[in-house]
Amino acid sequence: MRLRLLLLAPLILAGMETIAQAANPEHVQRLLKTNQCPQCDLSGASLKDANLYGANLVNANLTGADLTGANLGSANLSDANLTGAKLTQTYLYSATLENTNLTQADLSGAYLKDARLTGVELTGAILQGANLSRTNLSGVSLKGSNLSDANLSYTILSGFTTQDKKLSNFSMDSIMVQTQFLCRYPLNDYMIESVKQSGFDLAFADLGGATLKNANLTGAMLLKANLSNADLTGANLTNACLRSSDLKEARLDGADLKDATMEDAVLTGASFKDVKNAQLPPPTPTAETNQVYRAYQAEAKQYVGSMNRAQQAYYLERGRFSRTIPELGLGIRTETENYLYRVFTYADRKRATMTAGVPRKAGLKSYIGFVNVARNSNNEEITIATVCESVEPKPLLPKLPATVPARAGVACPSGFVPLNR
C-alpha cells in the first residue's frame, strides 16, 4: 500500500515542480496549495525552487528535505526539524526559525537577513557565504559550523559557542554599544553580568583556532575571549575590547588595532607584522611621559571635582541628585580623548551619587567622586563631597557603596586614595 502511494504521488502532484519522496504526500500537496502545514511530515521532500513565502511550517518534520532555491521569506519554521536539510541559496528573509533544528543542514549562500534565530541549533551546519546580517544568534550553538565568507553585519552573538569554526570576511559593524566603557570596568561579578545582559557578542567566547581573516570586528566585545591560534590577518579591530583575551600564537598581521583595548591580554607568540595603529604596553615612565600623564589626569580631576560641586548645588535646589551629566549644566562631555565620564545614583536619588572618570588610554589613573547626604553636629542636613584617585594607573570603576555614612563622607574604596574632602 505504501509503495502504491509513493507511485501515485507524482500523478497527484501533476503540474507542480516539486516533491516525490515525502513521507506523507498529502502533507506535501497541502503545503504547496495552502502554504499551511504545521506539524506536517515533509521528511525527504524535494521542494527545490518552491514558492513558500509566509508558509506556516511550525513543528514540521523537514529532515533531509531539499529546499534549494526555495522562497521561504517570512515563513514560520519554529520548532521544525531540518536536520540534514539542503537550503542552498534558499531565501529566508525575515523568517522565524526559533528553536529550529538545523544540525548538519547545508545553508550555503542562504539569505537569512532579519531572520529570527533564537535557540536555533546549527551544530555542523554549512553557512559558507550565507547572509546572516541583522540576526540574533544569542545562545546559538555553532559547534563545527562553517561560516567562511558569511555576512554577519549587525548580528548579535551573545553567548554563542564555537569550535573548529571558520569566519572569513566576517562583519559585526553594529556591536559597539558602550564597548569601551564596559571594557574598562573592573572584572567583578557585576561587570561580567552587565556584559552578558548587554547583548554583547564575543565576550568569553571560545574562538581558538578560528579563521577571522579580514574580519570587521569594529567595536567588538572580545573580553576574556579565547583567540589562541586564531587567524586575524587584516582584521579591523578598531575600538575592540581585547582585555584579558588569550591571543597566544594568534596572527594579527596587518590588523588595525586603533583604540583597541588590550590590557592584560596574553600575547605570547602572537604575530603583529605590519599591524596598524597598535597601542603597545606603555613605555617605562620618564620625566617627560609623567608630565604628559599628569596633564591628562588633571582633566579628570577637574571634571570629577566640578561635577561633585554641581551635584551639591543640584541637591540643594531640588532635593535629589542628577542622574546624567548634561543635567548638571556644566558642558562636560561624557567622552573625551582621554577619559569616559559617567554618573551613578541610587534609585531614590537622595542618599548619594558617584561620578566616574575612567581612562581610555594606558598609563592613566582613574578618578571617582562621591557626594552623600549627612548630618552635622547640629543635626542639620548637609552634603559632603569626596574625590578619589586610583593608586595604580588603570581603569577602575567601583559600585556605589551599600551603605552611606550618616555623619561623614563616603570613604574611598579599595584601590583608591582620597584627594580632598
18-29 pLDDT, tens digit each: 333 446 899 999
pLDDT at 20: 38
- In a domain, residue 230? The reply is no
Cα distance between residue 171 and residue 135, in whole Å:
12
**Domain of 387, in residue numbers:** 287-420
pLDDT at 296 over 80: yes
Residue found under cell 570613604: 411
pLDDT at 144 over 90: no
pLDDT at 200: 41
pLDDT at 203: 62
- In a domain, residue 354? The reply is yes
pLDDT at 297 over 80: yes
pLDDT at 179: 55
Alpha-carbon distances of 331 from 167, 232, 340, 353, rounded to whole Å? 43, 40, 14, 19
CB-based contact 368:353 (threshold 8 Å)? no
pLDDT at 21: 47
Mean pLDDT of 213-240: 76
pLDDT at 293: 87
pLDDT digits 0-9 by tens, 100-129? 999 999 999 999 988 999 888 888 888 887
One-letter-per-residue 3-state SS of 198-267: CCCCCCCCECCCCECCCCECCCCECCCCECCCCECCCCECCCCECCCCECCCCECCCCECCCCECCCCEC
Report the chain's mean pLDDT, rounded to a whole number: 79
Cell of 112: 537569512
Mean pLDDT of 410-415: 94
pLDDT at 211: 62
pLDDT at 292: 83
pLDDT at 306: 97
pLDDT range class, residue 16, cuts 50, 70, 90: very low
pLDDT range class, residue 155, cuts 50, 70, 90: low
Cell of 366: 582613574
pLDDT digits 0-9 by tens, 316-329? 999 999 999 999 99
Q: Which residues make Cβ contacts (< 8 Å) with residue 62, sequence separation at least 6? A: 42, 43, 45, 77, 80, 81, 82, 85
- In a domain, residue 180? The reply is no
DSSP code for 324: S
- In a domain, residue 359? The reply is yes
CB-based contact 259:241 (threshold 8 Å)? no
Instruction: Name the residue with higher pLDDT: 277 or 180.
Output: 277
Mean pLDDT of 221-231: 79
- In a domain, residue 40? The reply is no
pLDDT digits 0-9 by tens, 352-392? 999 999 887 777 899 999 999 999 999 999 999 999 999 99
With a pLDDT cut of 90, the percent of the chain lying above it is 44
pLDDT at 9: 40
pLDDT at 15: 36
pLDDT range class, residue 93, cuts 50, 70, 90: very high
pLDDT at 62: 96
Instruction: Name the residue with higher pLDDT: 420 or 174.
Output: 420
Cα distance between residue 314 and residue 307, in whole Å:
10
Burial of 324 (0-12, 13-18, 19+ CB in 10 A): exposed
Output the CA angle 342-393-240, nearest 5 degrees.
Answer: 60
Cα distance between residue 279 and residue 258, in whole Å:
7
Burial of 135 (0-12, 13-18, 19+ CB in 10 A): buried
Cα distance between residue 304 and residue 365, in whole Å:
13
- In a domain, residue 102? The reply is no
Domains of the chain: total: 1
- In a domain, residue 10? The reply is no
Instruction: Name the residue with higher pLDDT: 373 or 206.
Output: 373
Q: Which residues make Cβ contacts (< 8 Å) with residue 2, sequence separation at least 6? A: none
Instruction: Name the residue with higher pLDDT: 361 or 304.
Output: 304
CB-based contact 156:176 (threshold 8 Å)? no
- b/e per residue 223-258 (b: at least 16 CB within 10 A): bbbbbbbbbbbbbbbbbbbbbbbbbbbbbbbbbbbe
pLDDT at 383: 96
pLDDT at 80: 97
Instruction: With H, G, I as helix, E, B as strand and everything else as coil, classify residue 282.
Output: coil
**What torsion, rounded to 10 degrees, do the Cα atoms 404, 410, 416, 421 define?**
170
Output the CA angle 220-226-228, nearest 5 degrees.
Answer: 115
pLDDT range class, residue 229, cuts 50, 70, 90: confident
Provide the residue type at 412 as one letter.
C
Most confident of 147-151, 178-182, 338-342: 338-342
- In a domain, residue 349? The reply is yes
